Amino acid sequence: MKCTYVSTKGQTDNFIPSSCDIICGKGKDCYDHIGNKWFRHVVSLYTDEYIAAGENKFKKIKVVSDIFNKVQESENNTGFVSKDRRSGEWRAVSVTRAREKIGHELRVIVSRREKKAEKSKKLYHEAQKFRRLYVIQQAIFVELKAKSDMEIALVQDEEMDEVQCTMMEDNVIKEIDDTDLMYMLGLD
């Protein structure tokens, strides 16, 4: 689909932006416009180069120019347009405003990347913290199980001792004859 590119020199009557045009403006309608989605994709392809430019303004300007040229040279005959607030008519924006939009989009993408990297870094540190806590928890469980096993063994030993004592007492009782039993009961 070919888009009608509106130059700054003139425009057609009742112009309506096509799906290929990049709408300069705010709001969900501008953000969700197909041309703006394509534009964000193109800008994202140059983000690494923009970041690599660092503080060098000339390199950043070159990245913006490269993006502007890429958009202008596209097969879709894409243009940067905005709606005039007073008249409500669509107009092509100046090259300066188009470059400002490109620069703004680059900064937005870089900011999102930085936030995502920071969030990823925080999540990594949280995961490391939970791994350390898990290792400590496992060590505590092993120690508690060992203590529990020892306590169970001690209780079993005590129970065994009681059983053995009871058995010994039973044997002693069996050895008592009737006379001794009557004496113990005070019946003699």
The 10s digit of each residue's pLDDT in 49-77 is: 999 999 999 999 999 999 999 998 887 77
Neighbours of 110 (CB within 10 A): 14
Who has greater pLDDT, 48 or 181? 48
Instruction: Assess contact for 8 and 2: CB atoms under 8 A.
Output: no
Mean pLDDT of 25-51: 92
In a domain, residue 143? The reply is no
Q: How confident is the model at residue 96 (pLDDT cuts 50, 70, 90)?
A: very high
Judge whether 184 lies within some domain. Answer: no
Residue 39, domain extent: 22-125
Identify the pLDDT of residue 1.
36
Residue 149 lies inside a defined structural domain of this protein: no
Flag whether 41 is in a domain: yes
How many domains is the chain built from? 1
Q: Is residue 130 part of a domain?
A: no
Q: 54 to each of 59, 107, 146, how far by Cα in Å?
A: 8, 12, 58
Helices (DSSP H) in 9-94: which residue ranges? 28-32, 34-45, 47-52, 57-72
pLDDT score of 107? 94
Domain-embedded: residue 182: no
- Position 57 scores a pLDDT of 92
Whether 113 is covered by a domain: the verdict is yes
Does 13 fall in a domain?
A: no
Looking only at the bridges linking them, the beta strands covering 80-83 and 22-23 are: parallel
- Residue 142's pLDDT is 86
Instruction: Give the per-residue pLDDT at 110.
Output: 93
144-173 residue pLDDT tens: 888 888 888 777 777 777 766 766 666 666
